[in-house]
């Protein structure tokens, strides 16, 4: 089983989630903790 670790400033859309599970056979996602997500989301886009 592949478990990608998400490093996005947003949650996956339904289409992204469905595609990820169908293409590389992903069964589980690991998201950042809420604290890290908050920090990551505040990074400037040109960082």
pLDDT tens per residue across span 1-47 = 667 777 776 778 899 888 877 876 677 777 788 898 888 888 787 87
Residues in the chain: 47
Note the pLDDT of residue 15: 92
Split into its structural domains, the chain has a count of: 1
Domain limits at 26? 1-47
pTM listed for this prediction: 0.47
- Within 10 angstroms of residue 23's Cβ, the number of other Cβ atoms is 8
Interatomic CA distance for residues 29 and 45, integer angstroms: 24
């Amino acid at each position: 089983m592949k478990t990608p670790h998400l490093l996005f400033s947003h949650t996956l859309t339904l289409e992204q989630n469905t595609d990820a599970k169908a293409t590389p056979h992903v069964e589980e996602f690991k998201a950042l903790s809420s604290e890290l997500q908050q920090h990551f989301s505040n990074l400037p886009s040109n960082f």
